[in-house]
Amino acid sequence: MPIYEYRCESCEKSTDVIQKSTDPGPSQCEACGKGPMVKQLSMSSFALKGTGWYVTDFKGGSGQKPPTTSES
The 3-class secondary structure across 37-66, one letter per residue, is EEECCCCCCCCCCCCCCCCCCCCCCCCCCC
In a domain, 71, yes or no: no
Residue 1, pLDDT score? 79
Q: Is 6 exposed, middle or buried (0-12, 13-18, 19+ CB in 10 A)?
A: buried
Domain count, the chain: 1
Question: Cα dist. 18→38, 49, 59 in Å?
Answer: 15, 25, 32
Residue 25, pLDDT score? 87
In a domain, 49, yes or no: no
Residue 8, pLDDT score? 93
Q: Is 37 exposed, middle or buried (0-12, 13-18, 19+ CB in 10 A)?
A: buried
Q: Could you read off the pLDDT of 3-48 as tens digits, one per residue?
A: 889 999 999 999 999 999 899 989 899 889 888 999 998 777 777 6
State pTM to two decimals: 0.56
Residue 6, pLDDT score? 93
In a domain, 20, yes or no: yes
